[in-house]
Every structure is written in structure tokens, then in C-alpha cells.
Amino acid sequence: MTFKRIFWALALLLTPALALAHPGHGDNGLMAGLGHPIGGLDHLLAMLAVGLWAAQQQGAARWALPCTFVGTMLIGGLLGFEGLNLPALESGIAASVLALGLAVALAVRPPLSLALAATALFALFHGVAHGLELPDMSSPWAYAIGFVAATAALHAAGYAVVRALPQAAAPLVRVAGAASAATGVWLLAG
């Protein structure tokens, strides 16, 4: 897939959000859901890192990692809507920023089952956090659609960056992963 096609696919994905960006649509949660993954540095970095890491992989891992994250995050969101709170939730999210950043920085290619298990664990923490932060008076389903769409778009953006860059730019992706990992350390220390 070319960079131009990826750009237009992302533009089409985000077009409905632009149409709802003005007042008068009520408090349906869609905009809050779209904004949540983008508004928090921890969520933003982890979700971009999933896309970056997926693009560094081969075979089924390229699509399985982002799909696993989105699916498990949605399950976690539903659990969060019901009030489930995981122990050390914020630490788990910070650890995901650290671990996913390291995975990108080191361009690791673990066995697919291990990569999927780690991705699912991190997604569960992010999903529960999204679910617990459902704004008052919002539709849980509209909110969920928003955070799932934003997450998928962030994964796609990370993936597109790696796939569109020339191979000579691969060290820049690793530097971005190291910066994300360093942010994860900072979040854990805070």
C-alpha cells in the first residue's frame, strides 16, 4: 500500500469526526472517545508504538498486533464501563509505554504468541482506563466507537511512518522508540 493510499484511508476514517466537530450534536461521547487516546501522552505513545512495532515485524504479526490491541482494548473498555478497576492501572499503562517503546527501539521480533500476549495485556490496561473515564451523560457505545477509531488511526499512522520511510531512516524509528521508552520510565517514576 502506498503512502498516498494510507493518507487517504486515514482521511476518510477521520472525516465523520470532522463533521461532528461543531456544537449541536449533543453529548453522545463520540468526540470524547476520539479525543481520549490522543489527549493523553501515555495513550498516544503506546498506540503509535504498536503501529511502529507492527511495521517492523514480518508476516501475520503486521496485522495481528494492532488487531489484538484494538480488540482487547475494546473488551477492557467494556469492563471499565462496568466499573472494573485493575490494580496498578496507571503503572500498567506506563509500563506499556516503556515496553512498547523498547520493542520499537530494539526492533525485537519475539515469537508471535509472546508478542500477542504482551500486546493484549497492555491493551487491557488501556481499555479499562478508557472505560473508567466515560464522561457523564455519554453513550458508552459512541464513546467506544470513538476510542477504537482513534486507536486504529494511531496504529495506522505509526505503521505508515515506518512503511513509507526509506530503509535508511530506520534508525529514526528506533530513536522514536527509545524516546517513548524513556517517557515510560518517567511515567513510572512519577
Query: Of the candidates 149, 127, 157, which has an alpha carbon nearest to the alpha carbon of residue 48?
Result: 157
Instruction: Indicate the domain borders of the chain.
Output: 3-16+41-189
Digit-by-digit pLDDT tens for the chain (190 residues) are 555 665 555 555 554 444 343 333 345 789 989 998 998 999 999 999 999 999 999 999 999 999 999 999 999 999 999 999 999 999 999 999 999 999 999 999 999 999 999 999 999 999 999 999 888 777 888 999 999 999 999 999 999 999 988 888 889 999 999 999 999 999 999 8
Confidence (pTM) = 0.84
* Residue 105, burial from CB neighbour count under 10 angstroms (0-12, 13-18, 19+): buried
* Residue 39, burial from CB neighbour count under 10 angstroms (0-12, 13-18, 19+): exposed
Would you state the pLDDT for residue 49?
Answer: 98
Query: Of the candidates 24, 25, 144, 18, which has an alpha carbon nearest to the alpha carbon of residue 81?
Result: 144
